């Protein structure tokens, strides 16, 4: 048990780390809420719960939880299709599924998702975030789909030109582009002593100051003076609507994607430090409790997020105290300084999300998949494109289907060689790999080339699997060729006992 002296010694370090994480989280919580089609206060509520509640219960002590850009696209689609009121019940059910999965110790199974699918999913989400937030960056409303956002961009850009009388989109666009430029420049040239200052906060603060100084007429963040006004308590009538199959599918999809992103992030955080390792089942349970609370309060869903978590580790955090304190900083800032948040231009937060979306398209990860062949790269690209041109769930399911297809073809790989033996009239059919129904045509062609009157030996020791269709093909050939003087010997040495029982009756045909 840690004594009070150790706690006091660690407290200054944890306080500094928590401030750094708070500064990273503040603009992201609001920006992700806007990208999700929700009020910025909803993202702040999720960030507070992710810090105070999940930070206390987490199985990954240095991981920071909160609203994630990876879920923004899914939430936007859910809100558009089912309304804001149904997000709470969907999130409550998704959180319950996560909690049950954690209690049933299924955490490790959420990490078996192929990296090509995960990277492709993040890339597709990143492109959709960029396509939607570019419109927001010019104080224009985003369209429901990625294709519509892409096709509508020329009209948004034209309406934002300075000589257009429609509005002040060009001024908002300048603030958004300025935010992106500052984030990029700060990441590239920031002094070592000031590395703890996040580029997102620096860009948003600078653009906010410029917009106030120039009195620019742009859209600004709307945050209630009383945070309780942003809480939309879940209603019993809405819970009854969960019987709708489409809502059940949405809850399962949300639970799976949030869990996979959380546990992949936790694994990445573990590689950044030498301290306590993550307990994935406990982390999954904690995320479930956090998402259930967010559902009850009508907030955004949460996951473990790598950007805030890496900032936490780099700032020197060693315990869960930093994650908890960052949630308290968020709560204090919203309660005491909500008027400051109301001065932030929406376009500047959109710029943060555009930059974040671009970073999600990880070309380095795409090139790295090339080490494992072309199929993982194709899966990455197909998953990303399907998400962009259809929807998130379709893209992820396509990625899984391609992964399973690859496994099926790999499992069905069979080498077939027909060789003559030194003994006159004897040949050997050598099979290596998995003998499945997919190889019946090729095997039939080889058997037809066996000369009449041949004694054919078929050793099965090099097979990892053989199904009934191949066995029946061999038996049928033996019976059909007997009239021509041929003979079939199936040698089952090395096979598992359950297969031997099936073959003993026909070892000599």
d(C-alpha 381, C-alpha 394), whole Å: 14
pLDDT of residue 503: 47
pLDDT of residue 3: 45
pTM for the model stands at: 0.73
Token pair for residue 400?
A: 């899984």
Q: What is the DSSP string of 175-236?
A: HHHHHHHHHHHHHHH--GGGTTS-HHHHHHHHHHHHHHHTT----B----SSGGGG-----H
- Find where tokens 């789909």 sit: 145
Q: How far is CA 271 from CA 50, 276, 309, 313, 361, in A?
A: 22, 11, 12, 11, 21
d(C-alpha 111, C-alpha 270), whole Å: 14
Which listed CATH number (3.30.750.24, 3.40.30.10, 3.20.20.330, 3.10.105.10) goes with 414-506?
3.30.750.24
pLDDT of residue 167: 58
Stretch (H or E) spanning 58: none
Mean local confidence (pLDDT), 315-322 = 86
Instruction: Name which residue leads in pLDDT, 354 or 501.
Output: 354
pLDDT of residue 178: 94
Give tens-digit pLDDT for 324-355.
999 999 999 888 888 888 899 989 988 888 88
Please name every residue paired with 30 in a beta bridge, in sequence order, or none if there are none.
Answer: none
Q: Is the pLDDT of residue 494 over 60?
A: no
Give tens-digit pLDDT for 62-97.
999 999 887 888 898 899 888 888 999 999 999 999
Q: Is the pLDDT of residue 2 over 60?
A: no
pLDDT of residue 495: 55
Name which of 381, 351, 393, 367 is nearest 129 in CA terms: 351
Helices 146-159 & 374-389, crossing angle to 10 degrees? 60
- Find where tokens 């819970």 sit: 239
Name which of 375, 433, 439 is nearest 404 in CA terms: 375
Lowest mean pLDDT among 170-174, 245-249, 331-335, 405-409: 405-409
Mean local confidence (pLDDT), 2-29 = 75
What are the residue ranges spanned by the domains of the chain?
A: 13-406, 414-506
Mean local confidence (pLDDT), 37-61 = 93
d(C-alpha 250, C-alpha 242), whole Å: 10
């Amino acid at each position: 048990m840690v004594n009070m002296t150790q706690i006091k010694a660690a407290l200054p370090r944890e306080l500094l780390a928590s401030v750094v994480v708070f500064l990273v989280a503040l603009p992201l919580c609001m920006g992700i809420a806007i990208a999700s089609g929700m009020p910025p206060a909803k993202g702040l509520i999720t960030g507070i719960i992710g810090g105070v509640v999940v930070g206390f219960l987490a199985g990954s002590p240095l991981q920071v939880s909160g609203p994630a850009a990876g879920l923004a696209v899914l939430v936007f689609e859910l809100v558009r299709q089912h309304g804001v009121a149904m997000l709470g019940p969907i999130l409550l059910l998704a959180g319950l599924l996560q909690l049950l999965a954690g209690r049933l110790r299924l955490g490790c199974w959420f990490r078996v998702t192929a990296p090509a699918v995960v990277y492709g999913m993040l890339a597709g989400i990143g492109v959709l975030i960029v396509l939607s937030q570019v419109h927001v960056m010019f104080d224009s409303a985003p369209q429901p789909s990625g294709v519509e956002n892409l096709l509508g961009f020329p009209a948004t850009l034209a309406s934002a030109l300075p000589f257009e009388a429609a509005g002040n989109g060009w001024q908002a666009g300048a603030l958004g582009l300025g935010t992106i430029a500052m984030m990029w420049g700060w990441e590239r040239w920031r002094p070592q002593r000031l590395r703890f200052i996040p580029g997102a906060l620096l860009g948003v603060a600078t653009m906010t100051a410029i917009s106030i100084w120039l009195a620019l007429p742009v859209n600004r963040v709307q945050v209630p003076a009383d945070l309780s006004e942003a809480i939309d308590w879940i209603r019993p009538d809405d819970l009854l609507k969960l019987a709708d199959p489409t809502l059940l599918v949405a809850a399962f999809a949300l639970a799976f994607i949030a869990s996979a992103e959380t546990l992949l992030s936790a694994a990445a955080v573990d590689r950044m430090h030498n301290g306590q390792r993550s307990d994935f089942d406990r982390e999954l349970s904690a995320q479930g409790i956090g998402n259930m609370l967010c559902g009850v309060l009508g907030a955004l869903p949460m996951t473990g997020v790598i950007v805030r978590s890496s900032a936490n580790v780099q700032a020197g955090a060693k315990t869960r105290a930093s994650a908890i304190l960052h949630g308290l900083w968020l709560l204090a800032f919203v309660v005491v300084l909500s008027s400051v948040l109301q001065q932030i231009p929406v376009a500047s937060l959109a710029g943060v999300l555009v930059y974040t979306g671009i970073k999600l398209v990880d070309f380095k990860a795409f090139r790295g998949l090339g080490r494992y062949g072309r199929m993982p790269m194709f899966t990455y690209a197909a998953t990303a494109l399907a998400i962009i041109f259809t929807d998130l769930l379709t893209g992820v399911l396509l990625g899984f289907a391609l992964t399973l297809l690859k496994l099926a073809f790999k499992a069905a790989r069979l080498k077939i060689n027909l060789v003559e033996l030194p003994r006159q009239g004897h040949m050997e059919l050598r099979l290596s790999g998995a003998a499945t129904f997919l190889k019946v045509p090729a095997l039939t062609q080889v058997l037809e080339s066996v000369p009449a009157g041949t004694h054919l030996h078929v050793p099965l020791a090099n097979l990892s699997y053989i199904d009934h269709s191949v066995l029946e093909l061999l038996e049928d050939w033996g019976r059909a060729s007997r009239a021509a003087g041929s003979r079939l010997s199936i040698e089952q040495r090395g096979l598992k006992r359950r297969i031997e029982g099936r073959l003993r009756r026909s070892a000599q045909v």
